[in-house]
Amino acid sequence: MEMVKLTIDGIEVEVPRGTTVIEAARQIGINIPSLCYLKGVSHTSSCRVCVVEVGPRLIASCTLPCENGMEVKTNTPKVREARRTVVELLLSNHKRECTSCNRSENCELQTLAKELNIRDLRFEGERISYEIDNSSPSLVRDQEKCVLCGRCINTCKNVQTVGAIDFSRRGFNTRVSTALDKNIADTVCINCGQCIMACPVGALTEKENIKDVWNALADPEKFVVVQTAPAVRVALGEEFGMPIGTRVTGKMVAALRRLGFDKVFDTDFAADLTIMEEGTELLTRLEKGERLPLMTSCCPGWVKFVEHFYPELIDNLSTCKSPHEMEGALIKHYLAEKLGVDKKNVVVVSIMPCVAKKFEGQREELSNANLQDVDYVLTTRELAQMIKEAGIDFTKLPDEEFDNPLGESTGAGVIFGATGGVMEAALRTVYDLLSGQDLESIDYVQVRGTTGIKEAELTLPNGKTIRTAVAHGLGNARQLMELVKSGEKHYDFIEVMACPGGCVTGGGQPIVDSRTQACIDVKVERAKAIYDEDKDMPIRKSHKNPYIIRLYEEFLGKPNSHKAHELLHTHYVKRDRF
C-alpha cells in the first residue's frame, strides 16, 4: 500500500494514499468539525464546516486527499472565523427550538455551535416556512430544521437504493423533497428510518407513540402487555451513558415493570416460534420444489421494498408474520383466554429497534377478529424517554426476568437482532429436524459478519444441500434480487434485513453522532453483544424451547397447522413504484 506523508498543525503523519485530511487528522487526535460528512455514506463537501487552511486557500477536508508534502492548518483565525460564519448562517435559517427538540443534547449543529463558542447571531433575515410532514406512521419530516447536508439523501439513494427523497429547487429555496412534493407516506419510502439515523439534527424523527402508551397504562380497564426485540437489549443502555454494545436485558425488564406494564414478555420467544413456522415452510417448499428461494419476512422494511420494487417475487416471501406480530396475536388470542382477560381490553406494546415496525403494526393484513396484533410500537429511543420521564435511575436497577409463558427464549431467538441471525437460527433447527441428530457444533459463522452479501451451503447427512444467502442493507438486497431474477444465482433460502448490520442498527436505535461513527463500528459492537448473549443461553435451538413445545401441544397443534396459519401467517400486496 502506497503511503504519503504530510503535516497537520506541525505534526507529521503518514497515511495510505486516498486517505482524506479529516480522517488523517482524527488519527492523530485532531478533531476537525463536520456536518455533511458521514463516513462511508456522505462525502459532499456541501456544508464547508470542515474547512482547513492549505497554503492561501480554505479547502473542505472531508474530500481533500492527503498528498506528500502537504501542510495543513486546522486552527488559524481564518479557519475559525470561516467555520463560525458557516454555522451562524445555518442557524439564521434554522428552527431554533432546542429545549423542546427531541434531538436536544444529541444534535450535531447544537454541538458545533457550542464548540465554536457561538453566543449571538450576526445574521438575521428571511426564513423559509414549511409544513411538517407527519403523514407516515413511522417518521416525521420537519423541513425548518433541515440544514441541507444531504446525508439523508445519500443514505436513501446510495445505501438503501430506494430514492424516496432528493434535493429540489435552487439557491435559497433548495429543500429536501419527495417526487412531486408528495407526502412521504405516498412515496416508495419503505420506513426503514436510516434517514433518521443519518440526520445530524431534528429534521427527521420517529412518529412518537409515547403518549398513547402512557394513556393505556393509566386506563384501569386495559391490560397492557409489552414485548421487547432482541436488538433493544444491546443498545438501550447507550441512552443512559453506557458503552456501545452493553447488554442490559435484566435492567430493561425491571424498568418495564416499574413503568406499569402488566406483563413483560420477550419477542425472542416468537423468534423461536418463527423458526418453527418458517423452517417448516422451507421444508415444504423444498419437498415440492416450488416458490424457491424462500425469502424471510421478519423485516417490514424489506417486505415493503419487495412490494414496491420486486412484486413479481412477492410469492417467494415467507407467509410468516414477523416475530412481534406473532407474539401480539398469541397475547390476544391465546394468553388472554388463559388469564381470563377480555382480549378487547388487551393492549400490546412492542419495543422495537425499528421505525418500520410502526408502519407494520397498522397493516390490515396483520389483524385477527378485527383486532390489530400489535397496538403500539415504541422505538428503543422512545422507551428510554419513558424511563427518564418516570424518574427511574436505569443504571441502578436490579436484573429481573421476563414473564412466562411468552418470555422464555433460546439463543437462536436472540441472534435475530444481527444480520445472518435468522438464517443461523433456522439452520440450527432445520439440520436437526432433517437429520434426526442433535448437532453440537451450531455456530454457523459463514453467515455472520458485515459482508454485504454472504453465501453458505448446508449439506445434510442424506447428501442434500441447502443453498443460502444473507444480505443486509437494501443496496445489497437489490444486487441479490437481480442475481436471482437473472438466473445467475440459485438459492433455497434468503435472509434480508433492510438496515445495514441488521436490527442492531435499526432506525429506532440510539443515534450515534458522525464523529463517533468514524471511530467505532456500531453494528459490530452491538452484534458482538448479541452473540455473547446467545452463548450464555442454556438452550440455543428454537425447537428445544419448552414453552414452544407446550404451545403446540396446548394450542397450535403443529407447525403450519390451520390454527397456526390463522394467527401466525399473512399475505402481502403489490404497491406502485410511482
The grid coordinates of residue 567 equal: 394467527
C-beta separation of 200 from 147 below 8 A: yes
| Active-site option among 47, 66, 107, 298 | 298
d(CA 141, CA 134): 7
Q: Could you report how far apart the first and last alpha carbons of the chain are, in Å?
A: 46
Q: Give me the catalytic one of 42, 138, 177, 318.
A: 318
- Residues 388 and 240: their CA atoms lie apart, in Å, by 9
- Given the C-alpha cell 433492510, which residue does it identify? 498
Distance CA 190, CA 301 (A): 5
Calculated CA dihedral for residues 75, 81, 87, 91, nearest 10 degrees: 150
563 in catalytic set: no
Residue with cell 429506532: 508
CA atoms within 13 A on the CB side of 378: 25
Contact 307/573 with Cβ under 8 angstroms? yes
The 3-state DSSP class for residue 125 equals coil
Question: Buried b / exposed e across 201-233, counting CB within 10 Å, b at 16+?
Answer: bbbbbbbbbbeebeebbeeeebbbbbbbbbbbb
Overall size of the chain counted in residues: 578
357 belongs to the catalytic site: yes
Cell numbers 507529521 correspond to 12
> What residues pair up with 347 in beta bridges, in sequence order?
224
φ/ψ (deg, to 5) at 151: -65, -40
Give me the catalytic one of 365, 482, 553, 566. Answer: 365
> Residue 359: helix, strand or coil by DSSP?
helix
Annotated active-site residue 278? The verdict is: yes
Choice among 53, 360, 382, 533 that is catalytic: 360
376 membership: H or E segment, kind and range: strand 376-379
Residue among 53, 281, 307, 325 flagged as catalytic: 281
Q: Which of 302, 406, 314 is nearest to 356 (CA)?
A: 302
| Segment (H or E) for 92 | helix 77-92
CB 150 within 8 A of CB 370: no
DSSP letter assigned to residue 342: -
Q: Do residues 503 and 354 touch, judged by C-beta distance below 8 A?
A: yes
Q: Are 413 and 544 in contact (CB under 8 A)?
A: no
Find the largest Cα–Cα distance for the chain: 79
Among 263, 357, 523, 541, the one annotated catalytic: 357
Cα gap 38→517, rounded to integer Å: 8
- Nearest Cα to Cα of residue 163 among 174, 152, 173, 171: 152
Exposed e or buried b per residue across 524-557, where buried means at least 16 C-beta atoms within 10 angstroms of its C-beta: bbbbbbbbebbeebebbbbbbbeebeebbeebbe
Pairing of strands 51-54, 57-60: antiparallel
Known active-site residue 440 = no
101 has catalytic annotation: no
Gyration radius of the chain over CA positions: 25
Instruction: With both helix axes pointing from N to C terminus, report the angle between 210-218 and 380-389 in degrees, rounded to the nearest 10.
Output: 50
Note if 298 is an active site residue.
Answer: yes
Which residues are catalytic, by number?
Answer: 278, 281, 298, 318, 357, 360, 365, 503
